[in-house]
Amino acid sequence: MGAMANICLSMALSDFYAKHPSYETRLSLQRWESLGAVAAAPAVGYLPQTSAEASCAIQLGDNHSPSYSPLLIRTTMPDFSRLAEATVSTLEMFEWNKVTLIYEDMEFSNSIIPYLTDALVNKDIQLSHKIAIPIFAEDFQILDRLEVLMSSQSEVFVVHMSSNLASRHFVVANKEGMMGKGFAWLVTDGLSNFVDTMDPIAIDSMKGVIGLRPYVPKTRALKNFRTIYKRISSMKQNKAATKLNLLGLWLYDIVWGLGMTVERIGNVNSGFLKEMNDRTWLIGILNPSFRGISGVLDLVNRQFQPSVFEIFNITGKRNRVIGYWTNDQGISKNNNSTSRNTPRILQAEEPTRAKWTIGVPSKKGFNEFVNIRSGNKSNDDELPGFSIEVFRKVWDFALPSTTSYEFVNINGTYDDLCCQVKYQKIHAAVGDISIVASRTNCVDFTLPYLETGVAMLIKVRHDGPKDMWIFLKPLSWDLWLVIIAICIFIGIVVRVLERRENTEFNGSARKKLSTILMFPCQSVAIPQRDMVVTNGSRLVLVVWIFLALILMQSYTANLSSILTVNQLQPTIPSIKELRKSYVGYQNHSFVKGFLINQLGFQESMLKPYCSVVDYQEALSKGSENEGVSAIFDEIPYIKLFLAQYTTGYLMVGPTYRTDGLGFALPIGSPMVANFSRAILNFTQGKYMNSLE
């Protein structure tokens, strides 16, 4: 780095006075090998070479701040306010709402923390962890820090450290599998400025990392400068020089700015310079409009503040530019201040972060809920099932066109599926996953997108008419006896009232008995006007006919029901007796534990089934023939069964409440709130009913 600085400073003086041979003033370059001698210099452009020297630069700046040494010019960035704002704007662009800061444990790196913390708070982004790595940390020490982050389920990392430590850090992270799917990395300019000079192994480990660095426009002057620098650095005496980077360009521009400023002030001697206001002769370079080969230089209190940051994706040999950040416009895909050689912008089909890996249950039945296989993308035009359709709609609400995803089938139980989220094998679990308390130890659930409950499915028998005496069943036997008694009583009363006036009720004893028995039936079946002649008999007859009409209507209704409607009767009388029989449940479901722990069934009496067809076969056989007497499952699955088998089966018994079906995400994930809000927006919209 020091050799590179010497070359850039020498080239700056040579190029400047070669272009301006008529200038009367000349700058004299003096070099100090010790940091302690820097205080004696009237004007210094200082380039830190290591982390330790960067810390010394901070100390130098404290001892010689603008108020004490206005002739000091810093080529480092002790004020990280713009860098912090650009970093947080990048996080906001990718909708990363929870980040972890990894930084080098030294004063130079610590300086960014207050700026970054304030910027994160302003954008409502959570800083979950701050991990400091020692300057001379061994690989095992770096590994210890990374294991802490893996156990905390961190996914997005901001790295602020020097290139020497960062190169080893990313190699270790890559070996631990933290550079692949499920993790996102953002590095600041402390590393991004030196990406081109890093070890190829480290570069290969950093593929997919997002970088942030001051923007340098690609101009013809810059291209010529690089060519000359490469030729000079290849000479024998300069072989220690590193590849050209941004700090070398800044040094070159500083010398040009000083040269123009001194010439504008005029040829002065050192004695006259001391008598002047120290701030006066630097007024030219302090002008933020000064432009060099590195772009526009903003010197605020003699401290560099890049006006434009470049956001890029590290891909290996060449980096892909994503966009630009400016202090006044924020992030944009194009930089208005760039030349026509603007770098190519990353397109939508070239994602900058790993895809979300979405775990779905591997189901053999009930494909109406989940019918998807590993590798399916978000744009597949098949019928993926109700739960997957809901997830796709919710994804569009929660993360519109920001990230992509792919599905991976997970074999095993639904509990195993949730554990895959806990162990960071997948980003989220999606499907017909029931929200139960036991799974909250592994994941956080979104709000339910479908309400459910556990009920019982049984087979029913048909009790239709089977004998010739069916016409007697509409009324009970005791009611038949009462009717017969009333008929006899009515006949006797009418005989007594009519015996003197009506000759029909006179005659032999056999005729009198026949009249008493037949009169009530005859008055209802064949009513005649002159059946009775006395007023008392007429009153009794009216009451009887009214009662007879009520009995006939009731009889007709009951008989019609018996003859036309098959009576469905459950094949089991109660849960208590059901415990003695075999009972079924859906394979891999939480219902098995529910039957054992809450309803008191023996595990040996439970049988798992996978599909609607399996349910039908098991219920048809019955518990005595290697089938089951009943099946317990959640209501949506039972409704699906009854829609296919409309007769012979019935959902009965009490409904045991559950919390519904939802999606599973890592514990503490900020995306839980995003997905829950999206679920509310979708389920309360117009598309949910049609999808159901």
| 289-310 pLDDT tens trace | 567 888 776 666 556 677 788 8
* pLDDT attached to residue 69: 52
Question: From its phi and psi, is residue 60 left (phi > 0), alpha (psi between -120 and 50) or beta?
Answer: alpha
| pLDDT (tens digit per residue) in 537-582 | 888 888 888 888 888 888 888 888 777 655 555 666 677 888 888 9
- Between 42 and 162, the more confident residue is 162
Average pLDDT over all residues of the chain? 78
pLDDT above 70: residue 247: yes
Torsion of CA 394, 395, 397, 398, to 10 degrees: 110
Give CA–CA dist 201/130, Å, rounded: 26
* pLDDT attached to residue 456: 92
Helix (H, G, I), strand (E, B) or coil at 36: helix
pLDDT band at 341 (very low <50, low <70, confident <90, very high): very low
Q: Are 670 and 156 in contact (CB under 8 A)?
A: no
Nearest Cα residue to 452 out of 655, 209, 227, 230: 655
Rg (CA), the chain: 45
Q: Are 359 and 426 in contact (CB under 8 A)?
A: yes
Count CA atoms within 13 Å of residue 460 on its CB side: 19
Quote the crossing angle between the two packed helices 112-122 and 81-93, to the nearest 10°: 40
Output DSSP code: residue 196. Answer: G
Phi then psi for residue 75, to 5 deg, are -95, -5
pLDDT above 90: residue 433: yes
Helix (H) or strand (E) holding 678: helix 671-683
Query: Looking at 402-406, 497-501, 609-613, 681-685, which range is the least confident one?
Result: 402-406
Length of the chain as a residue count: 692
Give CA–CA dist 215/308, Å, rounded: 6
Q: Hey, which of 110-114, 267-271, 280-284, 571-575 has the most confident mean pLDDT?
A: 110-114
Q: Which two tokens stand for residue 52?
A: 């330790």
Question: What is the pTM (predicted TM-score) of this model?
Answer: 0.48
163 DSSP β-pair partners:
none
Output DSSP code: residue 355. Answer: P
pLDDT band at 449 (very low <50, low <70, confident <90, very high): very high
Helix (H, G, I), strand (E, B) or coil at 687: helix
Give CA–CA dist 273/280, Å, rounded: 10
Q: 3-class secondary structure for 600-644?
A: CCCHHHEEEECCHHHHHHHHHHCHHHCCCCEEEEEHHHHHHHHHH
- Between 391 and 462, the more confident residue is 391
What's at 559, amino acid-wise? L
Q: Are 326 and 89 in contact (CB under 8 A)?
A: no
| pLDDT (tens digit per residue) in 67-78 | 445 566 666 555
Give CA–CA dist 219/227, Å, rounded: 13
Residue carrying the six token digits 């959640």: 634
Give CA–CA dist 527/55, Å, rounded: 121
CA distances (Å), 132 to each of 85, 128, 149, 353, 540, in order? 21, 14, 12, 24, 106
Q: Which two tokens stand for residue 373?
A: 């296989």
pLDDT above 70: residue 188: yes
Percent of the chain with pLDDT over 90: 16
pLDDT above 60: residue 477: yes
Pairing of strands 295-296, 299-300: unpaired
Torsion of CA 634, 636, 638, 641, to 10 degrees: -150
Pairing of strands 98-104, 156-160: parallel
Give CA–CA dist 411/423, Å, rounded: 15
pLDDT above 90: residue 687: no
Phi then psi for residue 464, to 5 deg, are -100, 180
Q: Are 421 and 658 in contact (CB under 8 A)?
A: no
* pLDDT attached to residue 630: 92
- Between 342 and 673, the more confident residue is 673
- Between 564 and 420, the more confident residue is 420
pLDDT above 90: residue 445: yes
With 0-12 / 13-18 / 19 or more C-beta atoms within 10 angstroms meaning exposed / middle / buried, residue 24 is exposed
With 0-12 / 13-18 / 19 or more C-beta atoms within 10 angstroms meaning exposed / middle / buried, residue 535 is exposed
Query: Looking at 253-267, 341-355, 520-534, 554-568, which range is the least confident one?
Result: 341-355
Q: Are 429 and 612 in contact (CB under 8 A)?
A: no
Give CA–CA dist 661/408, Å, rounded: 19
Helix (H, G, I), strand (E, B) or coil at 186: strand
Nearest Cα residue to 559 out of 446, 459, 477, 471: 471
Give CA–CA dist 561/474, Å, rounded: 9
